Each structure stands twice: as C-alpha cells, then as structure tokens.
Amino acid sequence: MEFQSKRIAILGSTGSVGKQSVEVAQNIGATVDLLTAGSNVDLLEEQARLLNPKTCVLSDEKSARELKNRLSDTNVRVLGGDKAMLEAIASSNAEVAVNAVSGFAGLYPAIACAQSGKRIAMSNKEAIVIAYKFLKAEIEKHNAEMIPVDSEHSAIFQCLQGSADNKIKKIILTSSGGPFRGKSRGELSSITAKEALSHPTWKMGPKITVDSASLMNKGFEVIEAVRLFGVAPEQIEVVVHPQSIMHSAIEYIDNSIIAQMGAPDMRTCIQYAITYPERKEPLASSLDLAKLSKLTFEEPDMNTFTLLPLAYHTIKEDGILPAVLNAADEIAVDAFLKGRIGFTDIFEVVSNVVYGFENIKDPSLDDIDLADKEARIKAGECINSFLN
C-alpha cells in the first residue's frame, strides 16, 4: 500500500517530541493542517511560518491573541483556549494526529482525535496510563486507531507485526537505567536537578528526563504496555540495557525473542507511527553493529529505585491508582526541579500518596479526574510537611 496519509496535525508542537515531529513532517513531505501548543508564541509563530498550517491553537488565550497579531500577514487561522483546541482537532481534516501534549492534559485532545476517526500517533503516555479504557472505547466506536510513539512501545508494536495469532510469553521492556544506575539510595539523596536532567542516551523534556532517572518513567511504561498490548503485569520484564540500542522485545511461547534495534532517536518512532505500515527514509543515522563494542543487559535495582515496583503495584490494583501515581509524581518532580525537595524525596512523596489512597475498582472518568486533583493536593501537603 502506497503511503497516502500526508495530512497531519501536531498537538503539543513546541515541546520536545512536537519539535521532532515538525522535522519528521518536513522529512516525509507531509502537509500540516493543525498545530497546537500551550503558550509558546515565538516558537509556534516560527513553526506556522515554516509549515503554513490551516489552523494554530494556543490553549493560553492571551498568548493566542498575541500570535494572531503576529500572524496577521498570513492565512493561518489562530484560535485560543482549550475548547477551541478540541473543536479544531475535531474539524481538522488531518488523517494522522501526533499527540505530543505532555501530562494528563493530553487525554481530551486524544479523545477528540478518536471521535473524529483519526489515527493517533500517541506520544502522551499519561492518557494511556490513566484513562485508556475510555480512550479505547472512543477509538473503537469511531474506527480510529492508535499507534504508539514511545520508543519501547513502538518497538513492541513492530515486533508484533506478522505475528498476529501467536501467543506472547512475555514482553521484555528495556530501560537505559538512567544516569544514576548503580548508585545507592544514600548517593541518590544528594542528586541535583541539573544532574538528573542529563540523560545518557535520549533527548527529552525535563519532566520525563527526571522520570527516567528515577525509573518512574519505566514504571509508567510497564502500565502503558499492559494497557496497549493486553498482557498481565507479570508478563512484563524490565531489563536494563544502558546502550539503548535494543528498544524492547517480545518473547513468544516457543521462547523465540524478536527484538527491535536502532539508533536511539525519537524521530524514527514518530515517523513510523505516521507512515505505518510503510517505512520511509529516516532522519536518524544507521547503526553500525560492528562498531558497537557491546550490548549489555542486567536486572533493574528495584530495592533502590522503588518507584518501579510501586508502578507494578498500582497496575495490579488498577482502578484510580495509576492516576494517583501519575499526579503525585507530577507534583513531586515539579518540586524537585524547583529545588524544594531532594531526589529521593520524590520516591517518598509518591509512595506516601499512593498508599494513602483508598482505591476505586471500576472508576468513571469523573472518579479519575477527582482522584487526580486530590492526589495533587495530597502530594503538595506531603511536600510541605517535608519542608517543616
């Protein structure tokens, strides 16, 4: 099948994955119909002039007014506010929407994409972790589809191609181990935000970089894999692979392991989610296997990096707990980045908040929304109690 899906939308275009999606759009010659962002007027103006989309939306209305002035010499329609954003997504004629919005805020754009029958190239893991059930129902109802962008899940998705009816024994989810692999809990306590922000192999935004250093990100990815691929939490094995060359693998029931490898570059994952099932010329460089001295694999240190086993706990319990985990982590990481708490305090805050919640087993979207808000308040209180 020839690649025809050439009209795309980029949601969250000014973030790390958003910017890389702009490069991919240019690489494959896609027409960009819609760009959305939060409040970054300068960058959205630059992207609008580069890509000439039909519509640009900023969720911050004041910033949107500023952007409208700046783009008054163009034909680009500029809108402001979250409601306008959802309407613009619904009415966009893009066939594929890259959802690179960060945080829980990515859920409603994802639902709007599903309701308008689009393919969602899904980079936002929070919506999957928190509310996949609701998203999946909308995707099925409206004949939409979702292709993962997260590198590990893109790898797993690729390893599944051509194996439709074969049974999966387990998913091998690789982790770089982060910059603090091998450190003790005591050594971790003095880590600064600057140290946590230097990831050894992947180029990402600040929140996910800290989550990668704490292995919280890997925990979210365990939950994401359970949701997307319909396996039990026990079927997911996290393996530390510091070189980030093997992006994940599947072991089938005959013990054959199919892995996906490549240079660590998000642009490859973004592009595959857009062009699937076709493959196109990449932006990332090719791997020279002979030049790689070695690939290594080891068990993660779950005794030190306690957010990873905590994530397994929350997905086994499910209900509102994954949402609570996500919200508490967002608040704790923000406090860490502002220098208010130490690195290992993130572990304490998140675990205190999760264990302090009474679960609701089969929650409504309102239950989840409420749990998200309450968890943020509880995390804030917990942080304040650390400071006193």
Applying CB under 5 A, which residues contact Mn ion? 150-152
The DSSP line for 13-72 is: TTSHHHHHHHHHHHHHTPEEEEEEESS-HHHHHHHHHHH--SEEEESSHHHHHHHHHHTT
Q: Which helix (H) or strand (E) holds 358?
A: none
Residues 6+ apart with CB under 8 A from 207: 102, 103, 330, 333, 334, 337
CB closer to Mn ion out of 40 and 174: 174
| Distance from the Cα of residue 236 to its chain's centroid | 18
Provide the minimum distance between the beta carbon of 4 and Mn ion in the complex, in angstroms, as a whole number: 29
CB closer to Mn ion out of 51 and 98: 98
CB closer to Mn ion out of 160 and 370: 160
**For the purposes of burial, counting CB atoms within 10 Å of the CB of 357, is it exposed (0-12), middle (13-18) or buried (19 or more)?**
buried
**Owner of token pair 């230097």:** 198
Provide the minimum distance between the beta carbon of 74 and Mn ion in the complex, in angstroms, as a whole number: 36
CB closer to Mn ion out of 152 and 334: 152
Provide the minimum distance between the beta carbon of 345 and Mn ion in the complex, in angstroms, as a whole number: 24
CB closer to Mn ion out of 14 and 176: 176
Provide the minimum distance between the beta carbon of 30 and Mn ion in the complex, in angstroms, as a whole number: 23
CB closer to Mn ion out of 63 and 326: 326
Q: Give the separation between CA 298 and CA 259, rounded to whole angstroms.
A: 16
Give the CA count within 13 Å in the CB-facing half-sphere of 196: 29
Provide the minimum distance between the beta carbon of 265 and Mn ion in the complex, in angstroms, as a whole number: 12
Residue type, 219: G
Q: Is the peptide bond before 277 cis (omega within 30 degrees of 0)?
A: yes
CB closer to Mn ion out of 67 and 171: 171
CB closer to Mn ion out of 150 and 330: 150
Task: Select from 178, 159, 180, 182 the least CA-distant residue to 247.
Answer: 159
Give the CA count within 13 Å in the CB-facing half-sphere of 260: 20
Provide the minimum distance between the beta carbon of 56 and Mn ion in the complex, in angstroms, as a whole number: 28
Q: Which helix (H) or strand (E) holds 134?
A: helix 125-141
Q: Give the separation between CA 94 and CA 103, rounded to whole angstroms.
A: 23
CB closer to Mn ion out of 150 and 329: 150
Residue type, 286: S
Provide the minimum distance between the beta carbon of 121 and Mn ion in the complex, in angstroms, as a whole number: 14
Provide the minimum distance between the beta carbon of 37 and Mn ion in the complex, in angstroms, as a whole number: 22
Provide the minimum distance between the beta carbon of 241 and Mn ion in the complex, in angstroms, as a whole number: 12
- 3-state DSSP assignment of residue 78: strand
Number of separate helices (H) and strands (E) present in the chain: 16, 11
| CB closest to Mn ion, residue no | 150
